[in-house]
Amino acid sequence: MKLKEVYPKILLVLYVLIWIIAAIHPNYRSVWIDENVLPVLFVFLLIFTYKKFRFSNLSYTLMFIFLVLHAIGGHYSYTEVPLFDMIKQQYGLMRNNYDRVVHFMFGVLFFLPFYEVLTRIFKTPKGWRSLTITLFIVLSMKAGFEMIEYGYTAVRNNSLTVTNYLGEQGDPLDSIKDVTMGFIGAIISLIITSIKRYFKG
């Protein structure tokens, strides 16, 4: 069996192993559970739809990277990832910016998977129209997630969820900045995809 054929399954096994490791003694068990509801549902969705719709191996790689980044954020809680705490202290920053990086990476990494869904399932012709629609899909997904976050925080209504799950870190414009970071990431992916299409002719 060729590596290309089993590659998504290899990524799945690697992710499950990383997920299990990240599940061991997280900083806050309740925050870890909160952070893992959507990723687990998403992975099961990919598994159940695998035979009907298979993404490119590049898309699976991009989604794998994001899920690993998210697993790290869930383990430590996004507000307390050690490397970014060191950066915060080193440069006198006001906040731990790991969540900003991951919001940015969502735009970068999920642009291609959304583009594949749009062009292959919904048969949108490849070109500027489909690229632009994908850009706004990423934007709407980011905005939608921020609303889900706020709604979930309101339902849970406890300080740990507000501080370590919502993770505003004292910034009242946190949600707007998170959406903006995702949008910028998607714009970068749009430019890269456009350049690749141009040189392929």
pLDDT digits (tens, 9 = 90+) for 21-66: 999 999 999 999 999 999 999 999 999 999 999 999 999 999 999 9
Pick the closest to residue 43 from 70, 76, 24, 22 (CA basis). 70
What local confidence, expressed as pLDDT, does residue 176 receive? 93
* Mean predicted confidence (pLDDT) in 119-125: 94
What local confidence, expressed as pLDDT, does residue 25 receive? 97
In this prediction, residue 145 has a pLDDT band, given cuts at 50, 70 and 90, of very high
In this prediction, residue 165 has a pLDDT band, given cuts at 50, 70 and 90, of confident
Residue 154 predicted with pLDDT over 90 = no
Give per-residue pLDDT as tens, 9-19. 999 999 999 99
What local confidence, expressed as pLDDT, does residue 167 receive? 74
Query: Distance of alpha carbon 129 from its chain centroid, rounded?
Result: 24
Contacts of 145 (CB under 8 A, 6+ apart): none
What local confidence, expressed as pLDDT, does residue 132 receive? 96
What local confidence, expressed as pLDDT, does residue 97 receive? 97
Q: Rounded to the nearest 10 degrees, how much is the dihedral formed by the CA atoms of 157, 22, 142, 138?
A: -160
Phi then psi dihedrals of residue 42, to 5 deg: -65, -45
The tokens describing 152, both together, are 């979930």
What local confidence, expressed as pLDDT, does residue 52 receive? 95
